[in-house]
Structure 1
């Protein structure tokens, strides 16, 4: 299946976010977005999009903490009804769930942040600025 290359317009927000969440280039959807666990690649190996202007910083971590804390917080009551009054067991299970959920959510959320920055033309992703460079 050939994925069409997106332009940098607000209408392309959903497809770009979907591609970012799948850890693919927000423009073409083919190249890898990361070269490591959370290290964004310098450029797309498929379409050549320069990814160095991205500035996700702490945004993805804040979103992941917000989501995971709510999920774990809301699971406390079912855990107490499931395991009874065993705080060490509940703490261990919820602690492991917190770690696994956080590690699993960080790359897709960071990919979505990079895609959002690309679509909105934030930082060096601005198409006018890219044309001035080249």
Structure 2
């Protein structure tokens, strides 16, 4: 299954599909924000500081460069993250895997992290 084959702009533009596309986009943004917020909370607990660390700033920049999609396959919602390069793939995978519990509220059952153009091996894990 191709995780990035659906272009929301290529679907028919009925009111129903527009609202569905908007809801889908909001879900993707909420997932990204939850992962980032969990990362910041954990970092602040370690550092005992509320100042945004340099590491969190770099993570925020990296997350912004990734493409985030939510797909449903066999009744399992999958958060698919496409990273800009192979190195980013490894960093994003590590960060997202650590804080995947933050996705439970969105009924995300699986996370798929990959690089563009099928560079390297995509990484998948279940959110339990």
Tell me the TM-score normalized by structure 1: 0.34
Larger radius of gyration: 1
| Higher relative contact order, chain-length normalized (CA < 8 Å, sep 6+) | 1
Identify the structure with the greater helix proportion: 1
Identify the structure with the greater strand proportion: 2
Tell me the TM-score normalized by structure 2: 0.36
